[in-house]
Chains A and B, each alone.
Chain A
Amino acid sequence: MGWRWFHQWGSPRWFYERAGRWQLVCGWLALILLVAGSLWGLGFAPVDYQQGNSYRIIYLHVPVAFLAQAMYAAMALCAVVLFVWKMKLADVAMQSIAVMGFAFTVLSLVSGAVWGKPTWGTYWVWDARLTSMLILAFLYLGAIGLRAAIQDPDQAGKACGILVLVGVVNLPIIKYSVEWWNTLHQPASLKLTEKPAMPASMWVPLLVNILGYYIAAAYLVLGSMRAIVLERERRATWVKELIGRA
């Protein structure tokens, strides 16, 4: 046994084949959870006494906003793995997570704006959480832009890693300073330490959807990582054989 499980991760081919199987599992799981959670949340959960039906966008907005933040942490973890164990796969993960994280951040900003119009009467306010989300979007954009500007993929990956690590140290400072600057947003809908204020018939479908979105994100990241592995290893024989077969 020993270190074999660890060294396998250094082989792009091993990853490509395994990730294909994981992707299949993730895809079906996410589909089942998202269909169940969304149907339940949108069709059967009770109407909110204050916000009416417009609150139902939380079944999209909350999971997406969770993911937007979690993915930056995941990217920082990949940067640590890249620097400590020099694992190239971590760089591939960083590259795909940056794009996906940016997409989720934009989606959470847009869904928040759509929700803000009926609830606050405006699409955008300079509220603490909106502002830190916007800054997060710029941080993701920085990681994407820096990689695009540097030609050598190894060098680009390490430069991005430095940027992401500096970013993750700063992120809590940014978050707290922005919070101190202005706060108007309703307090977090779900907290790990407290019982939610919503009835179970509202938060259980939300939890199902959150899980569904996380697994869907894993599906998307795995898919994009496989594509990047193929592109980077395009000169390897196994890739040529694979493409020849298809």
Chain B
Amino acid sequence: MSIEKRMLARELKLIAARPGDIFKPMWFLMLVISMVPLALAPDSDLLAEIGSAMIWVATLLALLLNTEHLFQSDFSDGVLEQWLFLDRPLAWLVGLKLIAHWLFHVLPLILITPIAGLMLSVSTEVLFALLATLFVATPALTCFSGLGAALTLGSSRSGILGVLVMMPLFVPVVILAAGVLIRATDGSDTLPLMALLGAFSVVAATLVPIAVSAAIRLNIGGSN
């Protein structure tokens, strides 16, 4: 088996060992969504208006919560160190790890957003747009939060610092996604904005793993 296949198989085994890890972010998402009508009003028109934006922000937070300790266990049990000895570029392995993370941890999160949409009475067209933006934007978000996780690896008292450090970089993604949602509500053309969002995701997915691998090297190299 190639190294790539073995890495994916290992990720699957880790999830099988602790399936609860997948459900916690979904649980969090549904809790946040349940809080919105409680904090606002059970008025379905009002909820429909802000619902898609609320779901977006809640998914973003759930994703951040989920990715915060992306490399922590691999770092403490020495797997990251072993990566350095493989005959593959570190950025490639990081990219694989991020893809696996997206597949097994972020995708389930996206797949339950339609339920949240129904709860907040979001219309079907907007719901499709919401799903599309999440599919296109989450690779970029996963990469950036992975970078936050890698940068704070060496510090034991970082807390949610990785999240705080990376959040400002999400601004373009959130703005573009919100633009798509607003246009979907009006019924106007969403394609140009989706294309921009996709471009951002592609660039992030190609370049950010390089930065992540530099951050990992830094933490493994220690003080030298």
Is B136 an interface residue when CB atoms closer than 8 A count as contact? Answer: no
- Closest residue to A172 on the B side, CB-wise? B172
- Closest residue to A138 on the B side, CB-wise? B168
Contact A154 B151, beta carbon cutoff 8 Å? no
From B157, B169, B176, name the one whose CB has the most chain A CB atoms within 10 angstroms: B169
Is A37 an interface residue when CB atoms closer than 8 A count as contact? Answer: no
Contact B172 A165, beta carbon cutoff 8 Å? no
Q: How far is the CB of A80 from chain B (nearest CB, A)?
A: 13
Q: How far is the CB of A155 from chain B (nearest CB, A)?
A: 6
Contact A159 B168, beta carbon cutoff 8 Å? no
Contact B151 A159, beta carbon cutoff 8 Å? yes
Contact B167 A162, beta carbon cutoff 8 Å? no
Is B9 an interface residue when CB atoms closer than 8 A count as contact? Answer: no
- Return the contact of A145 from the options B164, B175, B222 (Cβ within 8 A): B164
- Residues of A close to B176: CB separation below 8 A: 177
Where the two chains meet, the residues of A that have a C-beta atom closer than 8 Å to any C-beta of B are 135, 138-139, 141-142, 145-146, 149-152, 154-155, 158-159, 162-163, 165-167, 169-170, 173-174, 177-178, 180-181
- Closest residue to A150 on the B side, CB-wise? B155
Contact A167 B161, beta carbon cutoff 8 Å? no
Q: How far is the CB of B164 from chain A (nearest CB, A)?
A: 6
Contact B171 A163, beta carbon cutoff 8 Å? no
Contact A177/B222 with A138-B168, A142-B164, A149-B152 known, Cβ cut-off 8 Å = no
- Closest residue to A145 on the B side, CB-wise? B161
- Closest residue to B167 on the A side, CB-wise? A138
Contact B155 A142, beta carbon cutoff 8 Å? no
Contact B158 A149, beta carbon cutoff 8 Å? yes
- Return the contact of B168 from the options A139, A150, A152, A158 (Cβ within 8 A): A139
| Whole-angstrom CA separation of A149 from B157 in the bound complex | 7
Contact B169 A166, beta carbon cutoff 8 Å? yes
Contact B223 A155, beta carbon cutoff 8 Å? yes
- Residues of B close to A177: CB separation below 8 A: 171-172, 175-176
- Residues of B close to A169: CB separation below 8 A: 207
Instruction: Jot down 22 A-B pairs with beta carbons below 8 A, ordered by A.
Output: A135-B171, A141-B164, A142-B165, A142-B166, A145-B161, A146-B151, A146-B165, A149-B155, A152-B223, A155-B219, A155-B222, A155-B223, A159-B215, A162-B147, A163-B165, A165-B211, A166-B169, A166-B208, A169-B207, A177-B175, A181-B175, A181-B179
- Residues of B close to A146: CB separation below 8 A: 151-152, 161, 165
- Closest residue to A153 on the B side, CB-wise? B223
Contact mask for chain B residues 129-155; partner A; CB cutoff 8 A; 1 contact, 0 none: 000000000000000000100011011
Q: How far is the CB of A37 from chain B (nearest CB, A)?
A: 33
Q: With A135-B168, A142-B164, A149-B161 given, can you name 16 additional A-B contacts, CB distance below 8 Å?
A: A146-B152, A146-B165, A152-B154, A152-B222, A154-B223, A158-B218, A162-B151, A162-B211, A162-B214, A163-B165, A166-B169, A166-B208, A166-B211, A174-B168, A174-B171, A178-B171
